Amino acid sequence: MKSAVVLLPGLNRDRDMIAALTRISGQPPVTVWESDTAIPDVDLIVIPGGFSYGDYLRCGAIAARMPALRAVAEKAAQGVMVIGVCNGFQILVEAGLLPGALMRNTSLKFVCREVKLEVANANTAFTRNYRPGQIIRCPVAHHDGNYFADAETLARLEGNGQVVFRYAEGTNPNGSINDIAGIVNDKGNVLGMMPHPENLIEAAHGGTDGRALFESALGIAA
């Protein structure tokens, strides 16, 4: 399966993501620049982490209005899988492709550490190679990862099984409501998550818990 990575000025985990996708799928992803109005035929589009446009104005707000994001929205509407990690998640929320908002961490500080995640829904295109309820390790590195949604949206997300990853074992690093670390849209083809699975995919990273996410999305058997 083919993948694409969206590149925007200020994103900085693009190289990590390209390395992870290349290592796992055996072929490098194509790249899409901020001004590109069309995305080639791929099965998976990834928006990596970083500080697009300096996170000025509001995290992800400027990026969400770039031509490349309109192209991502079109592809998402056609059913192409989309993953947004960290700043990518913030961008998807700002672009209206995922509900809710990502607020400043309750500590008001940037936080980089390893947390535990519970696979709250293993029945998605992104998580099928995990076991239901599996607890995995995953790094986080962000300043604005405090997920919030109004009561009605939250009830819908929880009711539909759209909460895919939850911070587990008391490791919620940012104050997210219901310990939410990652969600999918109602169609199930757009995933946003704050933690960085691309930084835990090989022995040198000290673990491979993030691998199954990309293998699921790329249709690689576990």
Partner 1 sequence: MTISNTRPITPELIAAHGLKPDEYQRILDLIGREPTFTELGIFSAMWNEHCSYKSSKKWLRTLPTKGDVVIQGPGENAGVVDIGDGDCVVFKMESHNHPSYIEPYQGAATGVGGILRDVFTMGARPIAAMNALRFGEPDHPKTRHLVAGVVSGVGGYGNSFGVPTVGGEVNFDARYNGNILVNAFAAGLAKTDGIFLSEAKGVGLPVVYLGAKTGRDGVGGATMASAEFDDSIEEKRPTVQVGDPFTEKCLLEACLELMASGAVIAIQDMGAAGLTCSAVEMGAKGDLGIELDLDRVPVREERMSAYEMMLSESQERMLMVLRPEKERQAEAIFTKWGLDFAIVGKTTDDLRFRILHQGEEVANLPIKELGDQAPEYDRPWVEPAKPAALAESDVPQADIADSLLTMLGGPDLSSRRWVWEQYDTMIQGNSLQRPGGDAGVVRVDGHDSKALAFSSDVTPRYCEADPYEGGKQAVAECWRNLTATGALPLAATDNLNFGNPERPEIMGQFVHAIKGIGEACRELNFPIVSGNVSLYNETNGQGILPTPTIGGVGLLGDWRKMVRIGFAAEGEPILLVGAAQNWGTHLGQSIYLRDVHGRTDGPPPPVDLAHEKRVGDHVRALIASGIVTACHDLSDGGLAVGLAEMAMASGIGAAIDTPSADPIPAFFGEDQGRYLLTLSIRPDSAEWEALRAEQQKLGVAAALIGTTGGAELKLGQAHAISVEKLVTTHESWFPRFMGT
Where along the sequence are the contacts to partner 1 (CB under 8 A)? 9-10, 12-13, 15-16, 19-20, 50-51, 53-56, 107, 109-113, 139, 141, 143, 196, 198-199, 204-205
- Start-to-end CA span in the chain (Å): 15
Distance, CA of 159 to chain centre: 21
Strands 3-7 and 44-47: parallel
Minimum distance, C-beta of residue 41 to partner 1, in the bound complex (Å): 25
Q: How far is CA 63 from CA 8, 51, 100, in A?
A: 7, 10, 17
Query: Are 127 and 163 spatial neighbours (Cβ–Cβ below 8 Å)?
Result: no
Does 138 qualify as catalytic in the annotation? no
From 34, 142, 143, 196, the catalytic residue: 196
What is each CA distance from 162 to 8, 97, 215, in whole angstroms? Answer: 27, 13, 20
Active site residue 196: yes
Minimum gap (Å) between residue 206 Cβ and partner 1: 8
**Catalytic residue at 198?**
yes
Q: Which one of 94, 118, 198, 215 is the catalytic residue?
A: 198
- Which residue number, 118 or 198, has a Cβ lying nearer to partner 1? 198
CB of 83 to partner 1, least distance (A): 16
- Catalytic residue ranges: 86, 196, 198
